[in-house]
Structure 1
Amino acid sequence: MTKNGSGGFSDVERAAMKERAAELRAEKGGKKAAAALDDLLKSIAAMPDDQRVVAERIHLIVTEEAPDLRPKTWYGQPAWTNADGKVVVFFHSAAKYGTRYNTLGFEEASHLDQGVMWPTSFAITGPLDAAAEEQIAELVRRAAG
């Protein structure tokens, strides 16, 4: 991520904010669920192959384990919301932000509260195996409530 000369937002961060602003305008305009799903699928398709495969598996897991969550993009990346439109689960491709790992995260609307401290995001560094997929499925089930 290249910062601008004044130490402000990087080009990638500015692009993500512009994507989010466009998403908000579309939502305000009454974007339909089918269009939101199409946006999510396009965001996944644009990822490098190794990250795309992970995002596709996560999308399938979320769809199967929490069918009431609604797909959309959030800062140009896949996300799934509750009936109130609040993001519950999201996926960030490593390529998008120039990080060394993908991120699977859970926002405040998720139901993962456990004691006084719990994880809200997980690094994914490679292909998902059966154990990782089951862990994700369990987290998504809990998060969706």
Structure 2
Amino acid sequence: MTERLTDEERAAVRERQAELRRAAGKRGAARKAEEARACAEKIAALPEPDRTLAERIDRIVRETAPELEPRTWYGMPAYARDGKVLCFFQPASKFKARYATFGFTDRAALDQGTLWPTSFALTAIGDAEERTLRELVARAVGR
């Protein structure tokens, strides 16, 4: 039996299709500016506490790895290198989860032996969590 996508999953797929359509006609600086604007708008539109978490993540990523480019990915705030998403913030409200997630794609240099985490649950970001997130982002970009 084939499982069907949830309403939230279908919405994420539609958002990704819209992202691809918007990006198709733009190149270079115009495309990057549009992607950054879309990311900022997505963060601003989030309900609390997701908005506060996303704003902190955005600041952490931009300060730690300014070479990463903000964009959206399946309707979520994300950060890319060379056009490929490296990390993303999944709001709890996106899939009606009890916590938000900060995740990394396989482009992130997080490898540790044969087993390593690629996503982290977030309910709040204090000083200790911020230090950990900064270390993860730095490692993910190869520092």
Fold-level match, TM-score > 0.5?
yes
Residue 138 (1) aligns with residue 135 (2): yes
SS of the aligned residue for 1:52 comes to: helix
The separation in 1 between residues aligned to 2:114 and 2:127, in whole angstroms, is: 30
Select which of 108, 112, 115 maps to 1:114.
112
Shift of 1:27: 2.2
Shift of 1:7: 4.8
Instruction: Please provide the CA RMSD for this pair.
Output: 1.3
Give, as a single letter, the amino acid of the residue that structure 2 aligns with 1:19: E
Q: Deviations over 1:11-63 (max 9, x none)?
A: 11111100001111222222621111111011111111211011001000100
The separation in 2 between residues aligned to 1:96 and 1:128, in whole angstroms, is: 19
TM-score, normalising length from structure 2? 0.92
SS of the aligned residue for 1:88 comes to: strand
The separation in 1 between residues aligned to 2:37 and 2:84, in whole angstroms, is: 19
Q: Tell me which stretches of 4 or more aligned residues in structure 1 moved more than 6 Å.
A: none
Q: Deviations over 1:48-100 (max 9, x none)?
A: 121101100100010000011010000000000012x1111100000011011
SS of the aligned residue for 1:49 comes to: coil
* Partner of residue 4, structure 2: 8
Give, as a single letter, the amino acid of the residue that structure 1 aligns with 2:23: E
* Partner of residue 128, structure 1: 125
TM-score, normalising length from structure 1? 0.91
Q: Deviations over 1:108-145 (max 9, x none)?
A: 110101100100000002x2100000100000011112
* Partner of residue 56, structure 2: 57
Shift of 1:8: 1.2
* Partner of residue 75, structure 1: 74
> Where does structure 1 lack aligned partners over 5 or more consecutive residues?
1-5
Q: Larger deviation: 43-52 or 56-65?
A: 43-52
Q: Larger deviation: 63-72 or 23-32?
A: 23-32
Q: How many residues align?
A: 138
The separation in 1 between residues aligned to 2:24 and 2:18, in whole angstroms, is: 10
Q: Report % sequence identity.
A: 48
